[in-house]
Amino acid sequence: EVQLVESGGALVQPGRSLRLSCAASGFSFDDYAMHWVRQVPGKGLEWVSGISWNSGDITYADSVKGRFTISRDSAKNSLYLEMNSLRAEDTALYYCAKDIKGFNGYVFNSWGQGTLVTVSS
C-alpha cells in the first residue's frame, strides 16, 4: 500500500524559511515523479512543484518560483520542499503527491494527509 507522510509544517513569520519532508513507502520511489500540491483549508487546490524520477526535470508554479526548492533523496525514499521568503499567501495545507509516471505527467494517484504551513507575524 502506498503511503506518503508529510512533516515539517509550522507557524512561521513572514520572510522566514521552512523545510517540508515527505516519507514515501509501499512503492518503488525511484520510478515515479513526485509533487507538492497545496490547499487553503476549505478552498481550491494549487500545484506547487514537481520533480521527475531522476531529478532531471524540476518545475515550479510561478507563485513560488525563485523562493521554493524541491528535491528528493532515493536513499531515504523522501521528498522535500525548501520554502524561503515565506509570505502570508503561502499559508496552506501542503500535500505530497505521487505521479502516475516517472516523468512529470502531473496526474496524482496517491496523496499524503498534508502538513499545515501558517505564515503569520
Partner 1 sequence: DIQMTQSPSTLSASVGDRVTITCRASHSISSLLAWYQQKPGKAPNLLIFKASRLEIGVPSRFSGSGSGTEFTLTISSLQPDDFATYFCQQYNTHSPSFGGGTKVEIK
Binding site for partner 1 (CB under 8 A): 44-47, 59, 61-62, 95, 100, 104-109, 111-114
- Closer by beta carbon to partner 1, 83 or else 114: 114
Q: In this complex, which beta carbon is closest to partner 1, that of residue 15 or of residue 26?
A: 26
DSSP string, the chain: --EEEEE---EE-TT--EEEEEEEESS-GGGS-EEEEEE-TTS-EEEEEEE-TTS--EEE-TTTTTTEEEEEETTTTEEEEEE-S--GGG-EEEEEEEESSSS----EEEE---EEEEE--
The nearest distance, CB 16 to partner 1, in angstroms, is 26
The least CB distance from residue 1 to partner 1, in Å, is 12
CB of 15 to partner 1, least distance (A): 26
Specify the residue, 52 or 78, whose C-beta has the smaller distance to partner 1.
52
